[in-house]
Chains A and B, each alone.
Chain A
Amino acid sequence: MRRWLRPGDIALIILLLLPLAVALPRLGGLAGPPEVWLTWVGRVTGILGLAMMLLAGVVSCRAPGFDRPFGGLARLWHLHHWLGFTAFILVMVHALALGLAAVPASLDAAVATLFPPVSHGSIWLGWLAWLALVVFLAPTFDFFGQPHYQRWKRLHLVSAAALLLGLWHALLLAGEAWPWWLLGIAGLGAIAWRKGVAPRRRHAYRVEAVDPLARGVVELVLRPEGGGIRHEAGQFVYLSPLDESLSAGRGEEHPYTIASAPSDSRLRIGIKDLGDASHALQTVTPETRVLVEGPYGEFFGRRFPERDMLWVGGGIGITPFVGGARDLAAGASVDGHVHLFYLASDSVRAYYREELEGIAEAHEAFAFTQHYSRERGRLDEAFLREHCPDYTEREIFLCGPPAMNAHLRRLLAGQGVPASRIHSEVFDFL
């Protein structure tokens, strides 16, 4: 999925290279003694590093719809993650290269370049920015095991300080200010939007019903208080329950996939007990409020609209396909035929089976096959071939536990299906 360059990526690359392109004529050439190219490397990595830091801020804005040109929010998070860490690496190369470039003058000059008198405040601003980076990145180095997600999110706000200090450092030292103002306002503006404006723009819903589907799985039926969100099948939202009686996760936002059709007047969300917050939601009180932000993602983003589709959902990973099937049932038009395989351990855990079978009976364009791993073991090639002979020719959408995804990707690759024809949005803690 990542090998595909999206329109958003191209915009990002242009913005990333903008400060460098403006500064490059001033930086001179690489030819000459080592200190000349070390200086060049030091400056280029500094410029790129700060640009990446600021763009990592920009892409973290999580404005609904902003993720679409990047191929969905999950992919955008990967970009954010990659930009942030690369920036961290580059700023360290930047400092070390400039320090080493002064070694031919003298060792003292090298140390003084990195740690000048306090009067050279601009350099110290750079150090403070680096320190801020270390502070909020340290938990990801796994010194103390996996960080607590909500605490980690709060700590991540230190990144705003890092951006501000880094920007200040650059504005004092760089020759050209306007690219930095541009990226700086974009980056810090995105963080301000995320933390200041976005929480107030969430949509209020009421919990109309909590339908138990199986042990540890419920479907929340949400009724909008106002306009509600407009979404496509397979997208997801961030949900913050406000129920006072919740044992955990009250007011915290977590991502959940929408299982209802876009035309449905209610928002239906399948929730499996996977952690403290989703466990508490199993018993959320009806008629309490939840706040919904979104939608995000591009689950059914087609690359080969001329082909038929194969959907494979496992466990709670069936929810985006339920949304897709309900969309079909509601009369949405789809390019080509759809065949959905629902992988569950047994009939008790196949909680959406009856509804999906009903849709398949009523609609010719939609076929449904149930697979029980307790009876047949893992899904294999023969089973796929038997029920869907042309599956290797189809555009394929996967959603399920990581082990299932990995197994299916191997299976499909073994049948010569190119990776570009396989979609899956994977949510990991980044």
Chain B
Amino acid sequence: MNMNKIAYSVFIAFVASLLTLISVSALSSSEREEADDEGLDPITLDELAEHDGAESCWKAIHGRVYDITDYVPDHPTDDEVILEWCGREATEGWDNKRPGVPHSPRAEGMLDEYLIGRLVDEEGEPVESEAATEANGNANGEADSDQARLSPAEDERLHRALLGLPLDGRYRGVFGDGGEMQVNVQFDLRDGQLSNISYRHLAYRDVDYRRLDEDDDLYPVWVQHQQLAESLEGQPLTAIFALYEPERLAEDIDGYSGATLRGNKVHSAFRDALNRGVYSWP
């Protein structure tokens, strides 16, 4: 076999392998949606700053927080290069492996394994890169000026407010008792329907349910609360009254009823949120 034929065979095999790789990837990726940021634990800059060394190294990259402690010894450079960015916003280091050269897509794939949460500021708002924030600010500004031009005959937001109907937007509310905040929920209303429901806080007697390990006795309580939130997703706002009978929403009621957190506390937090009014506009 001469060289031309070998090269031609390799060429065909190469193209076939590429097509296989691409098609297999395309066919399987529909199962793996990107993790929604709202479902990630919020982590503040202060919390992040506590993990600033080789013994525990967290980094915030593009608004997400990664615990890369286990990976540090495997990084191809000297440890100092990677440890320099521990405990802080490290997007700059990530995007500039060498000046102007970002890390590879493969490195991004590896990074996902170490994802532990999303970066938030003191108010719990996501912290994004400056460029992204600016872009959002501009977009909102334009939307507001559009709204301002609406006549009273067209302004649906005005109509809902005057009738006492809850407006579309993001809501936050709490339930507190005995000098302790126990539930803090956040949700969005779109056309009167609930979405993006999450717990910003869930605790009782100094137990932070969101930080429990899977083998903890009280872990099922956290699972059930998540089920409550999930079952309300996409429901009309009135569905929050089902929280008075949480067995309608969550599965394992035995474990649930044995615990001290109850659906009515969650309901109360939802009502608090509605009383407070829109936290941020859609």
Instruction: Give chain A's interface residues, CB within 8 Å of chain B.
Output: 28, 81-82, 85-86, 88-89, 92-93, 95-96, 99-102, 105-117, 119-120, 122, 134, 137, 140-142, 172
Contact = CB atoms under 8 A, between A and B. Distances in A.
A110 B3 contact: no
B6 A172 contact: no
Contacts of A110: 21, 25, 106
A105 B8 CA distance: 31
12 contacts: A88-B11, A89-B7, A96-B18, A102-B109, A106-B109, A107-B21, A107-B24, A109-B110, A112-B108, A114-B21, A116-B105, A122-B101
| Interface pairs A-B: 8 shortest CB-CB | A109-B109, A112-B105, A105-B109, A102-B106, A92-B14, A107-B25, A85-B7, A85-B3
A93 B24 CA distance: 19
Contacts of A119: 102
A89 B10 contact: yes
Main secondary structure of the interface of A (DSSP, over half): helix
Contacts of A93: 10
A237 B188 CA distance: 83
Interface range, B side: 20 to 34
Contacts of A122: 101
A96 B106 contact: no
B4 to A, nearest CB: 5
Contact of B110 (A85, A88, A105): A105
Nearest to B105: A112
B76 interface: yes
A45 to B, nearest CB: 12
B101 A96 contact: no
Contacts of A109: 105-106, 108-110
Nearest to A122: B101
A81 B108 CA distance: 40
A115 B21 CA distance: 11
Nearest to B29: A108
A141 B109 contact: no
A114 B3 CA distance: 26
Interface in B1-40: 3-4, 6-8, 10-11, 14, 17-18, 21-22, 24-25, 28-29, 32
Contacts of B231: none
Given A89-B6, A92-B11, A112 B109 contact: yes
A29 to B, nearest CB: 12
A28 B22 contact: no
A163 to B, nearest CB: 17
A282 B69 CA distance: 80
Contact of A105 (B18, B101, B102, B106): B106
B7 A88 contact: yes
A324 B101 CA distance: 62
A93 B32 CA distance: 29
B112 interface: yes
Given A88-B11, A108-B25, A114-B18, A142 B105 contact: no
Given A85-B4, A111-B21, 11 more contacts: A89-B6, A92-B14, A96-B17, A102-B106, A102-B109, A109-B108, A109-B109, A114-B21, A119-B102, A122-B101, A141-B7
